[in-house]
Chain A
Amino acid sequence: MSIKISEAPYKERIGKGIDNDFMRQAVSSAQGRFRNGRLTQAEELGNWEDWRQLGEEIRSHTLENIDYYLYQLSEEVEKRGGNVFFAETAEEANTYIENVVKKKNAKKVVKTKSMVTEEIGLNKTLEEIGAEVVESDLGEWILQLDEDPPSHIVTPALHKNRQQIKNTFQDKKGYDKSDTPEELASFAREQLRQDFLTADVGITGCNFAIAESGSVTLVTNEGNAEMVTSLPDTQISVMGMERLVPTWEDMEVLVSLLTRAAVGQKLTSYITTITGTRLEEEIDGPDDYHLVIVDNGRSKILGTEFQSALHCIRCAACINVCPVYRHVGGHAYNSIYPGPIGAVLTPLLDGYEDHKELPYTSSLCAACTEACPVKIPLHEQLIRHREIIVEEEKKSPASEKIMMKGFAQWASNPAAYKLSTKVARTALKPWTKDEYVENGPGPLKGWTDVRDFPAPAKQSFRSWWNKRQKGGEA
C-alpha cells in the first residue's frame, strides 16, 4: 500500500461511502464520542486555548529548526547504540529496512500501528522477501487479515462491524466463538501473544522522537507497542521526519494534547518511551536498534505557505468533527490520511494529479481548524489548494470548466437568459409534482436524489418587476 489506497474514481468512492449505512452510522457515533471526549477534557483543563497556543509554538519552533534537531537526535541515538538511516524516499526507507530484516535472516516481523509504514508500503516490501509481517494493533490486525485499508488514523477499522470481524477471524484464523468484542479481543490476545514471543524483528512507528536524548515515544492503549519494543532482539523505529520534539518537556505537552484531542483521555494506557538498545545486563528490549527517518515528500512542504501542515500530531480531531467525513467515510478520500488533514496533506505529499478533488471534499465550515490542538489553519489551506488547482495547475474538473464557460456565455446574453427563465417551468413540468421536482433530469439529478427541488416560479422576477413598474399588480 502507498498513500493512495485504490484506483477507483472519486465519484464512485464518494457514492460507495454514502450508500454504506453501517459505516455512516458508525462514523457518526464515533465522531460524537470522540468530539465529546475532547471537549470534556478541554473544559476540565479550563485553559485549553493556552494549551493549543503552547502546542503551536512548540511545533513551530521545532519545524523552523528541524535540521538542527534531527542532527541532535541522530547523534544521541548513536550514543545509545542505535543506527540511524535518513531516507529521502519511500524506496530508500524500504530498502534499508529490507536489508536489516534479510541480514537477521528474520522469518517473522511484528509491528505496532504506524501510518508512515503504511505510507511507504513497507509490509508489501517485506512480504516480497518472504518475511511474515504481523500487525499487532487490534484494528490494524483486523484490516490486515481482511486485506482492507484503514479508514481513520486513530481507529483504523472503524468502518467494520463485529459480525464482519467475526467472519474475518473465522475465515482466516479458524475462530469459533461469538461476535462480542470481548471474545474477539481475547482471541486476538491469544493469537498475537505467540507472534510477539516468536518474532525476530519488531517495527514501530513514532509519535514523538525526543532530540535531546535520542528517544522515541509511542502512544498506545493495547500494550502491543510495549510487547514489540520489549521482546524481539532487533528493533526498527520508522518516523516521518517531522515527528520530532526538542526535549522531554515538549514531548509531555504534545502527548497531553494528543491523547485529549484524539480520544478524550488524560493519557492513554501506555506512553512508552524507548532509548536505543537495552543496557548492560538488561533482558527486555533490543540489542540491535535502528531509527529510520523518512522524508518522502515532506521537505517540499518546508518553507512554503503549507509548512504548518507538518505541525500535525495525528490526533484526528479534525476528522472527528468534519461533516463531510461523517457522510463519505475514510475510504472516499483514497488516501491513508483522510479527513481535513488528509485533504491538505495528501496533495502535498503525492501531488495534485491524483488528488485534485480532495480540497473540495470539504464544506469549509472551519470546524477542523477550531478542533486542531496545534492550531493548523486547515480550512484556509484547503482554500489555498483550490486556488492553486484552478489558477496554477489548471486542474479543475473538465465539467466545471465547461459549466463555467457556458454560464458566462448564457449569463452575458440577455436574450438567452430571458428565454431560459421563461421556459424553465414548462421544461421541468414532466418532473414537477405539487410545486416540487422530485426526480429531476440531468444536472438536477444529484440534488433530487436526496431532496426535492422547488419548481421554478410561475412568473420570473424580471416580469414581476416590469409589471410592478408599470403599476400593475405585483
Chain B
Amino acid sequence: MTIQNRDSFLSNLAANLGRPQKREGVTRPEYSVQPQHEVFKDYSAEQLIEVLKEHCKVIHTDFVRTEKSDLQEALKKVLDGYDAVSIIASNDKRNQEYGLDKAYKEFAKEFDVHVWDASLGKENQVIAERTDVGISFSDITLAESGTVALMTNKDNGRSISLMPKCYIAIIPKETIVPRMTQAAARIHQDNENGTIPPSSVCFVTGPSNSADIEMNLIVGVHGPVKVTYIVVD
C-alpha cells in the first residue's frame, strides 16, 4: 500500500495556517452544546418501538411485530405478500437463535432459498441479483429515522439488502436505540478499543428512492423497491 505526496501537501496546509505541521497532540474539544444526546433521551423500549413504527409510514416501509416463536409464520406472510419465488439470506449466527435456520429449510420446499455461502465467492452476487427477496438482521436499529444499520462480514454480504427487489430486515428488539448518535458512539468506542469497523456499515432507511425527475418521489430505484421491518420480541 502506498501513501503519495503527503509531506509536501500537509506542510503546505500547515504553512497556510501559519504554524508548524501537527502530527500529535490534537484532541477533540468539549463542544459547547450536545443536542444529539437529548433526542428521545428517557424513552422506554416500548416508546422507541412506537417511534419506529410511526416513522415507517414516512419511509414507505411495512412494519411487522412478532414474538420469536412466531417469526417463521410472520416471515412467510410477508414473503407471500411479495409473491416471492426466491430468497437470499445472511448466514448469520443469530439464525439459529431465532429459528431461522429451520425456517429456511422449511421454506426451501416452496421457495428457491440461498443462504450466503462465502465459499461460493462471486456466485453469491449472481444469485442475489436474480433473487426476489433478501433477508438479514439489523445490527443496530435507529428509532428516530427508521433505520437499520447493517454491518457486513463474510457471512453477510452487502448484496443481500441491495440487489433483490424486496428486502426484509429482522430487528431484534434489543437492537433499537434512539438515533444514529448511539450507533456512532458504539462504533467509535469499538474503534478506540481496537475493534476495527466492518468494511461496510450501511445505514438503510426504507426502500431506495429518487426525486431527480421534476422533484417527484419515486420509490425503488437501484436498491430494493419494497422493504419490511420485522421487530422481534
Interface residues of A (CB under 8 A from B): 26, 29-30, 33, 45, 47, 50-51, 53-54, 57-58, 61, 64-71, 74-75, 78, 80-88, 92, 96, 136-139, 142, 155-158, 161-162, 165, 181-182, 184-186, 188-189, 192-193, 196-197, 212-213, 215, 221-224, 226-227, 229-231, 241, 246-253, 255-256, 263, 265-285, 293, 295, 299-300, 302-303
Contacts and interface: CB of A to CB of B under 8 A. Distances in A.
Contacts of B152: 282, 284-285
Interface of B: 1-6, 8-14, 16-18, 21-24, 26, 28-29, 31-36, 38-39, 55, 59, 118, 121-122, 124-125, 129, 142, 144-147, 152-154, 157-159, 162, 179-181, 183-185, 187-188, 191-192, 196-216, 218, 220-224
Nearest to A137: B212
Given A50-B33, A68-B23, A162-B214, A88 B5 contact: yes
A90 to B, nearest CB: 14
Given A270-B203, A275-B199, A223 B218 contact: no
Contacts of A253: 36, 181
Given A189-B221, A224-B222, A266-B146, 16 more contacts: A45-B35, A78-B3, A84-B6, A92-B5, A182-B218, A185-B221, A193-B222, A197-B129, A226-B158, A226-B222, A247-B188, A252-B181, A256-B179, A266-B205, A274-B199, A276-B199
A272 B2 CA distance: 25
Contacts of B224: 223
B5 A54 contact: no
B35 A50 contact: yes
A299 B12 contact: yes
Contact of A275 (B38, B145, B198): B198
Chain B CB within 10 A, most for which of A47, A136, A227, A263: A227
Contact of A274 (B8, B200, B210, B218): B200
Contacts of B146: 266
Contacts of B183: 252
Contacts of B17: 64, 66-67, 302-303
Nearest to B118: A281
Contacts of B26: 65, 68-69
Contact of B23 (A71, A157, A227, A283): A71
A275 B197 contact: yes
B3 A282 contact: no
Given A67-B22, A283-B124, A283-B125, A266 B31 contact: no
A82 B3 CA distance: 9
A248 B140 CA distance: 15
B126 to A, nearest CB: 9
14 contacts: A54-B32, A67-B10, A67-B14, A86-B8, A88-B8, A223-B162, A230-B159, A266-B144, A266-B146, A268-B205, A282-B157, A283-B118, A284-B152, A303-B17
B35 A246 contact: no
A277 B199 contact: yes
A86 B15 CA distance: 16
B223 A181 contact: no
Contact of B214 (A70, A78, A181, A283): A181
B221 to A, nearest CB: 4
A222 B29 CA distance: 36
B154 A282 contact: yes
Nearest to B161: A226
Contacts of A182: 218
A53 B39 CA distance: 16
Nearest to A51: B35
A302 B16 contact: yes
Contact of B213 (A184, A255, A280, A303): A184
